[in-house]
Structure 1
Amino acid sequence: MTVRPPVPPFTEQTALAKVQAAEDAWNSRDPERIALAYTPDSEWRNRDRFITGRSEIVAFLREKWQRELDYRLRKELWAFTGDRIAVRFEYEWHDADGQWWRSHGNENWEFTPDGLMSRRYASINDVAITAAERRVLP
């Protein structure tokens, strides 16, 4: 069995560590690395897409970062209890035409006892910005 610390039940300190680990992993833009934080049968809702399992996660993330260029993310712990964490986030990226976007959202996470995420539900909205308005910088 793979254990991915920190594991539930979460404290404020371990929830903050889990959020930071997720932010660091997503900013790597390495789909295979990111997928290892999820159970093999993890369920996602990302905007209007429903994804199940690591192979679908990897495919989704590869496609995402072909479209969302120079992606940079910040996550903030919103709430936690037992085996669940809620976060708010912002990320910025530009499209192939050079238009910058800021994507705002919330995620609800549920974890197994070994610290792998079994469910991820994300609600996301995009706002067009100029390069001068960027605030999520490397």
Structure 2
Amino acid sequence: MPQASARPPLPPFTRESAIQKIRLAENGWNTRDPEKVSLAYTEDSWWRNRGEFVQGREAIVALLKRKWTRELDYRLVKELWAFDGARIAVRFAYEYHDDSGQWYRAYGNENWEFDEHGLMHHRHASINETPIRESERKLLWDASGPRPDDHPGLTALGF
């Protein structure tokens, strides 16, 4: 895949630009489009996702394709935890169901590091999930688009 152009906002991050970067990432992931999502990462980006270690955009695309084949009707919310220079720490929650109709909520933390072009070159993700009843879902918006601006974030949801 070709090198992506700069992806503002660029480091060093302020609180406001870190929050903007997080929302852009959330919106991208909520498209569930592995190729589009991969363009936010460097060509040689290194990931730890749960217990899986991948490097490079092709491996990222493959991981995301596997993920979104299993995690249906996926909806994600991310929130700033901390930032410093070219690094951002994020907490998140997402909900999905499997092919049997069982719903899950996953909770996690990510540590991100960016290059000077605003592309992420390291992503460390720790994720735990729990089964939930469909009636317990809280991430309720049309799955074909980003989280609406008026939909509550993690803190407002009590996560």
- Do both share a fold (TM > 0.5)? yes
2:61 aligned partner: 58
2:130 aligned partner: 127
Structure 1 unaligned segments of length 5 or more: list them.
none
Which SS does the other structure have where 2:90 is aligned?
A: strand
1:136 aligned partner: 139
* Matched residue type, 1:60: L
| Aligned partner of 1:15 among 9, 13, 18 | 18
Which SS does the other structure have where 1:15 is aligned?
A: helix
User: What is the aligned length?
Assistant: 138
* Matched residue type, 1:61: L
Aligned pair 1:82/2:70, yes or no? Answer: no
Q: When you count strand as a share of all residues, which structure comes out higher? A: 1
Aligned pair 1:99/2:96, yes or no? Answer: no
1:43 aligned partner: 46
**CA shift for structure 1 position 93:** 0.3
Separation in structure 2 between the aligned mates of residue 49 and residue 42 of structure 1, nearest angstrom: 14
**Structure 1 runs of 4+ off > 6 angstroms?**
none
Q: Deviations over 1:64-101 (max 9, x none)?
A: 01100000000000000000000000000000111000
User: CA-atom RMSD, angstroms?
Assistant: 0.7
* Matched residue type, 1:31: P
- Give the alignment's TM-score, normalised by structure 2: 0.86
**CA shift for structure 1 position 27:** 0.2
Which SS does the other structure have where 1:45 is aligned?
A: strand
Which SS does the other structure have where 2:138 is aligned?
A: coil
How many percent identity over aligned positions? 60
* Matched residue type, 1:34: V
**CA shift for structure 1 position 136:** 1.1
* Matched residue type, 2:96: W
Separation in structure 1 between the aligned mates of residue 140 and residue 120 of structure 2, nearest angstrom: 27
